[in-house]
Amino acid sequence: MNHGEVLAIDLGQSGTSIRLGDFSSQTPRGKHAGENSLDALRAAIESIELPEKISADCVSLSCTGLYGQVPNPQKYLELGSTFFGATKVAVIDDGFASYVGALKGQDGVVLTIGGGVVSIAGLNGQYSHRDGLGSTFGDEGGGFWLGRNAISKALASLQNRILDQRMHEYFKDEITAYYELDVRDGSQAQILAINTAKKTLAAADLGIPSAVAIANKGAFLLAQTVISTWQAVQGNSTDEIKFVIQGGPAKNKSYVNSIVRNVQAKLPNAQLVESAGDNLDGAIWIAQQMHHDAPPLLKWASK
């Protein structure tokens, strides 16, 4: 399978996706806690089932775990060359790929909530990046944050350290899964937390008090991230702003509405719009339209 088209890969915390023309595939292998993004990308590519040898001159890589600072892209070029015969590679912070995919280069703010959190703003050719700091010290309001807090409160409920019996009843399966972990603070624990995010927001919708408190706090923190991102590109509070929220937890309408209310308290003219595409769309658009570095969020390497 040899194409002159762009081969795009999106490495996330909960899985990895690949696209080349009409071909697409995905794997649950994403970036594990404490793992280097380059090593995670290599492992993810090796785990994807490909129908035949795929080759592409240009590979565009959207990567989690870069924390808004794309490193020297040379080793990523070597990886792209080894697996796909690439002669040029774009290495993109996944938040920037998400921003470009969602707004197709237009000014605005894109908040992406997956296992982690990243917010990107663009205004008049300037870009800013907020959060994306990793699950230990950041990613506030994201999937890992939601699930970790919910399981923590469910365990506290089980031990009668908080008075919210519905928490340990609703999350009984997650409690069982927690106790079955061989290592309770490693990558499998991280995956358990991320996989619990959707259920955490569902519990909040049911009015379970601890879950409601988690969701409310998460929405507030995410809104502050969005506001800070816009301010960092010298945006004004009165500007009309196109604003996208996307990612797994963003499928919960209550969570999105709560984030929007908190954002509009400080940016009253922020208008929520539909995303025009995902990270893979962004990676392809960047490869086709942005043939120059946009440091620190995008760097190119070529042979």
pLDDT, tens digit, 9 for 90 and up, residues 113-122: 988 999 999 9
Contact 70, 92 (CB under 8 A): yes
Starting from the edge strand earliest in sequence, which strands make up the sheet with 241-246, in order?
Answer: 126-131, 117-123, 108-113, 241-246, 270-272
SS3 of the chain: helix, strand, coil, percent, to 5: 45, 20, 35
pLDDT over 90 at 139, yes or no: yes
Q: Which two tokens stand for residue 1?
A: 């399978």
- What was the pLDDT predicted at 40? 96
What whole-number distance in Å separates Cα of residue 273 and Cα of residue 223? 16
The larger pLDDT score, comparing residue 208 to residue 132, is at 208
pLDDT over 80 at 21, yes or no: yes
C-beta neighbour count of 102 within 10 angstroms:
28
Q: Which positions ≥6 away from 256 have C-beta within 8 Å?
A: 245, 250, 272
- pLDDT > 90: what percent of the chain? 86
Contact 233, 122 (CB under 8 A): yes
The larger pLDDT score, comparing residue 54 to residue 147, is at 147
Mean predicted confidence (pLDDT) in 248-252: 95
- What was the pLDDT predicted at 50? 79
- What was the pLDDT predicted at 4? 64
- What was the pLDDT predicted at 228? 98
Confidence of residue 13 (pLDDT cuts 50, 70, 90): confident
- What was the pLDDT predicted at 52? 76
pLDDT over 50 at 1, yes or no: no
pLDDT, tens digit, 9 for 90 and up, residues 147-179: 999 999 999 999 999 999 999 999 999 999 999
pLDDT, tens digit, 9 for 90 and up, residues 257-299: 999 999 999 999 999 999 999 999 999 999 999 999 998 999 9
Q: Which domains does the chain have, with CATH numbers?
A: 2-94+278-302 (3.30.420), 105-275 (3.30.420.40)
| H or E stretch covering 166 | helix 165-170
- pLDDT > 70: what percent of the chain? 99
Q: Can you give the length of the chain in residues?
A: 303
- Angle (CA) 128 195 172, round 5°: 140
pLDDT over 70 at 123, yes or no: yes
Which SS3 state, helix, strand or coil, does residue 138 take? coil
